[in-house]
Amino acid sequence: MDQEINFIEIEKKWQQKWTESNAHTPNFNNLDNKFYCLTMFSYPSGDKLHVGHWYNYGPVDTYARFKKMNGANVFQPQGFDSFGLPAENYAIKHGIHPAESTKKNISKMREQLQRIGAMFDWSNELSTSDQSYYRWTQWLFLQLFKNGLAYQKTAPVNWCSSCATVLANEQVKEGHCDRCNTQVTKRDLKQWFFKITDYAEELLNNLDALDWPSKTKHMQKNWIGKSIGAEIAFSIKNNNSKISVFTTRPDTIYGATYMVLAPEHSLVEKLTTSDNLKNIHAYISETRKKSEIERSATDKEKTGVFTGAYAINPFNGKEMPIWISDYVLISYGSGAVMAVPSGDERDFDFANKFDLPITEVVSRDGKATNSDSCFSDYGICLNSENLNGLTSEAAKKVVCDELKSKKIGGSKTQFRLHDWLISRQRYWGTPIPIIHCDDCGAVPVPESQLPIQLPMDIEFSSTYGDDISPLATSDTFINTVCPNCNKPAKRDPDTMDTFVCSSWYYLRYPNAEIDSVPFDNSRLNWLPVDLYVGGAEHATMHLLYARFITKALRDFGYLDFDEPFKKLIHQGTITKDGTKMSKSKGNTVSPDEFIDEYGSDTFRAYLMFMGPFEEGGDWNDKGITGISRFLKKIVKICNKIDRKQSSDISIQKLLHKTIKSIGDDLNQLKFNTAISKLMELSNVLTKVDKIDEFTIKSLILLLAPITPHLSEELWSKYFPDSKSVFEQAWPKFDSSLIIDNEIHIAVQVNGKLRGNILIELNTPKDSVLGMAKSLENVSKYIEGGNLVKEIYVPNKIVNLVIK
């Protein structure tokens, strides 16, 4: 029989056959053993798929195929996150319409994805920039709007002057635009927000029960940032306004010797005395240039300006000078703090710099230490009148009760999580389905009018003048009539953050063929996603937004589950010479040349062999020839099949052990170790002349998830009467063959080890004792003494007692 297999040819052949037989569309009506296996979809950029993408899709498909052979009804969809800034920037630079460049990139990427030969169900493909998809993203917006979870608010937003757009906090990296690195400034704009903060508590509480990497759960916890403390309203000398603060340490109230407002705080203008105004204004404009991260760095020299005004400490009546400083952030709590320099590092530094009073109010044992440092732990109160001698914990409660009875505050829980700013002043995104009417305000577009189509008559430019939003430059788009009163009105000119598109796409996949509704109840039974795989960089934004949207839709009555992704895994990062492979670093490696040379199976197996899946590794192509040799060796081994042959016991044992351990490994997505076990087996089989049918059959089955095309080819060649290799059951191991039936037994004399014997499992007691006693190092003791007791713990130990 011909030994050579042309990998490239058979891959094409099997991909075609799988497509023709619809092999990768699950039976949606059969929910038993449903397995929804999702890898994060990709952005269709002009750079196509690189090795890093492959590393996500190839190994996960191996896992999905393994599940299928173990009886799962697998759904593994694929699609494109196709709205977003890069296509638009490309349009501005090269004059190619985003719709056109995106379409081109998608078809190229689809081709590349198809060459993986994964079990992608292309009949449920989606692209977020298709009307058939974004129509439902608009529908989602309307549901949030109707339920009070989408609202507009004027807010200081991050502004990138180069991209001419507002950026989300997450898109600002160390004060600079994530995309173009321009320094970010602040600007006031009316923006749309989603009220994710309504779900802060649940988003936090449900984390524990998720089968997610603990590091990711931890990051979400910090991002949500729950703090328990108190809210206190301070009155102001000669002024009717009140300053509200959030503090985690109400027990330190007697140590609050001054106040600090964020420079952006609305009271700053009202409170500042005329002689301080100039300084204050200068400081405010300095602050606007700084990012929150710079501002909250603890090691930076404190700066600030006195307003000339005073607040009153409600507990001791003392006057507290009111300052502004950039270390207080407008976005957290109420944007103001009661400063306790003896208990808070930042306040301590600030007080020292500006010579403000410091009162010690907590110490380890309640005695004054008069030390020149700050004590931020819990302890016992001092210099605090009725709180003296109380633990911090007890004092907190007393202060909160008092605040409540004085009607100036009480206990309060604060979250670091902000509402999600979703409007973007960009073109290539989902238009916001709202119409602004002078009389009726913000009116939702009736659902029957969806989709609100993205206009095509836009002149792409790096700035759009005062309009800010590209959509505002299209007269036909922007001018409409109010659905309420029929008067002329204007459409919302903004588009949605692309994270809105990806916040619900997992719901759409099993429904992608259905036009009349975003999702159908029977198809929703395919949710939640059983396994979700993607990069760790999505730990906070995407993964938090998706959880929020699931919970919101559940509360609107559309879903009956709480969490979208049952199990989450982050694939490791593929680096090139130590840096993450990415377009911006210019160090991407295309998989295409390797696939052209070795074929997709070899490439996939090589990627999986590089290292543990969740750790990734540094790309180099040196080892790929080794994998190629290994696969060719398997082809030769299969050729040695002899159906009359019955297999040698030692080969049987090795085979069954291999079946067991590859099953264990693949179950845990340990692809690299699974492959090395296959290599060990093939090394042994290479040395054998004739190999029995069961061994060959098992070998092909074990290989199937790892190199799907090759295995399908070998299967069809040696077992031509049966269906696809992926319709076969995963091989079962015989546990009696796995246990080694020869074991070493320790032989003791009076409790001391004197020797070892090799016995067959469950050898009768008398023979074991006989063998033990005949050991030279044992018999000499028996001869020199009196054997009084013989103890045998079956299959474990012999102990002889001699007097």
Residues within the interface to ligand ANZ (CB under 6 A) = 227, 246-249, 252, 262, 328-329, 332-333, 335, 337-338, 340, 343-344, 376, 414
Cβ of residue 484: shortest distance to Zn ion, in angstroms? 4
Instruction: Please list the alpha-helical segments (H only) found in 242-380.
Output: 267-271, 277-287, 292-296, 345-354
Size of the site for Zn ion (CB under 5 A): 6
Rounded Cα–Cα distance for residues 519 and 510 (Å): 8
CB-CB contact of 314 with 232 (8 Å): yes
Considering the complex, state which of residue 443 and residue 514 has its C-beta at the smaller distance from Zn ion.
443
227 binds, among ligand ANZ, Zn ion, none (CB under 5 to 8 A by kind): ligand ANZ
Considering the complex, state which of residue 347 and residue 530 has its C-beta at the smaller distance from ligand ANZ.
347
The CA–CA distances, whole Å, from 758 to 93, 282, 750, 795 equal: 78, 88, 21, 10
81 binds, among ligand ANZ, Zn ion, none (CB under 5 to 8 A by kind): none
Rounded Cα–Cα distance for residues 33 and 22 (Å): 19
Q: How far apart, in Å, do the first and last CA atoms of the chain sit?
A: 72
Residue of 164, 351, 437, 696 interacting with Zn ion (CB under 5 A): 437
Considering the complex, state which of residue 248 and residue 763 has its C-beta at the smaller distance from ligand ANZ.
248
Considering the complex, state which of residue 311 and residue 328 has its C-beta at the smaller distance from ligand ANZ.
328
338 binds, among Zn ion, ligand ANZ, none (CB under 5 to 8 A by kind): ligand ANZ
User: Does 481 contact Zn ion by CB under 5 A?
Assistant: no
Considering the complex, state which of residue 79 and residue 250 has its C-beta at the smaller distance from ligand ANZ.
250
Rounded Cα–Cα distance for residues 530 and 511 (Å): 17
Amino acid at 242: K
437 binds, among ligand ANZ, Zn ion, none (CB under 5 to 8 A by kind): Zn ion
70 binds, among ligand ANZ, Zn ion, none (CB under 5 to 8 A by kind): none
Cβ of residue 486: shortest distance to Zn ion, in angstroms? 7
Residues 6 or more apart whose Cβ sits within 8 Å of residue 719: 697, 700
Tokens representing 98?
A: 């985003």
Cβ of residue 359: shortest distance to ligand ANZ, in angstroms? 11
359 binds, among ligand ANZ, Zn ion, none (CB under 5 to 8 A by kind): none
Cβ of residue 485: shortest distance to Zn ion, in angstroms? 4
Residue of 209, 485, 517, 739 interacting with Zn ion (CB under 5 A): 485
Cβ of residue 435: shortest distance to Zn ion, in angstroms? 8
Binding segment (CB under 5 A) for Zn ion, from list 276-284, 485-493, 535-543, 641-649? 485-493
340 binds, among ligand ANZ, Zn ion, none (CB under 5 to 8 A by kind): ligand ANZ
Rounded Cα–Cα distance for residues 227 and 218 (Å): 15
Binding segment (CB under 5 A) for Zn ion, from list 127-135, 265-273, 474-482, 724-732? 474-482
538 binds, among ligand ANZ, Zn ion, none (CB under 5 to 8 A by kind): none
Considering the complex, state which of residue 312 and residue 329 has its C-beta at the smaller distance from ligand ANZ.
329
Phi-psi region of 117 (alpha: psi -120 to 50; beta: other; left: phi over 0): left
Considering the complex, state which of residue 89 and residue 307 has its C-beta at the smaller distance from ligand ANZ.
307
Rounded Cα–Cα distance for residues 235 and 464 (Å): 46
Considering the complex, state which of residue 331 and residue 449 has its C-beta at the smaller distance from Zn ion.
449
CB-CB contact of 85 with 92 (8 Å): no
User: Does 484 contact Zn ion by CB under 5 A?
Assistant: yes
User: Does 434 contact Zn ion by CB under 5 A?
Assistant: no
Q: How far is CA 661 from the centre of its chain?
A: 29
The CA–CA distances, whole Å, from 626 to 58, 684, 714 equal: 19, 17, 20
Cβ of residue 304: shortest distance to ligand ANZ, in angstroms? 12
Considering the complex, state which of residue 259 and residue 549 has its C-beta at the smaller distance from ligand ANZ.
259
Binding segment (CB under 5 A) for Zn ion, from list 317-325, 432-440, 614-622, 658-666? 432-440
Rounded Cα–Cα distance for residues 118 and 637 (Å): 26
Q: How far is CA 746 from the centre of its chain?
A: 51
Considering the complex, state which of residue 346 and residue 551 has its C-beta at the smaller distance from ligand ANZ.
346
Residue of 482, 745, 749, 759 interacting with Zn ion (CB under 5 A): 482
Residues 6 or more apart whose Cβ sits within 8 Å of residue 400: 230, 250, 409, 410, 411
Chain residue at closest Cβ approach to ligand ANZ: 343
Amino acid at 231: E
323 binds, among ligand ANZ, Zn ion, none (CB under 5 to 8 A by kind): none
Helix axes 649-667, 671-686, angle to 10 degrees: 170
Core vs surface per residue 657-678: b (16+ CB within 10 A) or e: bbbbbbbebbeebbbbbbbebb
Rounded Cα–Cα distance for residues 669 and 213 (Å): 14
Cβ of residue 482: shortest distance to Zn ion, in angstroms? 3
Cβ of residue 399: shortest distance to ligand ANZ, in angstroms? 11
Rounded Cα–Cα distance for residues 153 and 164 (Å): 20
Q: Is 460 helix (H, G, I), strand (E, B) or coil?
A: coil
CB atoms within 10 A of CB 331: 13
Considering the complex, state which of residue 59 and residue 493 has its C-beta at the smaller distance from Zn ion.
493
The CA–CA distances, whole Å, from 627 to 320, 705, 706, 709 equal: 73, 15, 12, 15
482 binds, among ligand ANZ, Zn ion, none (CB under 5 to 8 A by kind): Zn ion
Rounded Cα–Cα distance for residues 723 and 704 (Å): 14
Which residues are near Zn ion by CB under 5 A? 437, 439-440, 482, 484-485
